[in-house]
Amino acid sequence: MAREALLVMEMLKDFVERGAPLEVPSARKILPKVKLRIEEARKKGIPVIYICDAHRAQDEEFKRWPAHAILGTKGAEVVEELKPQKTDFVVKKRRYSGFLGTDLDLLLKELKVEKLHLTGVLTNICVFFTAAEAAMRDYKVVVYRDSVAALSEKDHKFALDQLDQVLKIKVV
């Protein structure tokens, strides 16, 4: 059986909490499902890897988006309901893909992971680009439609359709 890992994308206070700089209201709706997937992964001994924005104060990304998830701030922390445990992994990133400029691929290779399960936000940005890059790196990828969220239903559906139809990623 392929070694698996669960990726929890961007379930940070600056995305999930009411009034946050990049609030994704639908992220609060998926919290119970993401929490359940984390609990199931831990019970099965599947590594849980949190992929978290950790921007510099003057990050180039802030030309496109409001300042958010600045390294060392409360907004860059995982929401209380999903806090990482000591046995979990945290990968900090500054761009949309969890692979770009991070050690995610190295970590996955060390863990001998072949299959990734993706949850979190945003379906059409961080989840999408991480899933796409994982597929292009020949990982098997599963995205859970009830455990990912976007700013709009249109963006959510479009991203899931692209993952399924273009990249042949399993969307369940």
pLDDT in tens, 82-136: 999 999 999 999 999 999 999 999 999 999 999 999 999 999 999 999 999 999 9
pLDDT band at 2 (very low <50, low <70, confident <90, very high): low
Which residue intervals of the chain are DSSP H helices? Answer: 13-16, 25-44, 104-110, 128-136, 153-165
Whether pLDDT at 1 is above 60: no
Name the CATH code of domain 4-171 (choices 1.10.1200.10, 3.40.50.2020, 3.40.50.850, 3.30.530.20).
3.40.50.850
Average pLDDT over residues 29-33: 98
pLDDT bracket for residue 143 (50, 70, 90): very high
**In the predicted structure, residue 167 carries a pLDDT above the cut 70:** yes
Interval 10-37 mean pLDDT? 97
Identify residue 137 by its one-letter amino acid code. Answer: R
Q: Taking the complete model, does pTM exceed 0.85, yes or no? A: yes
Q: What is the pLDDT of residue 83?
A: 97
129: phi then psi, degrees, rounded to nearest 5: -70, -30
Contact assessment for residue 9 and residue 126, using Cβ atoms and an 8 Å cutoff: yes
Question: Which distant-in-sequence residues (6+ apart) come within 8 Å of 91 by Cβ?
Answer: 49, 50, 51, 52, 98, 102, 103, 104, 107
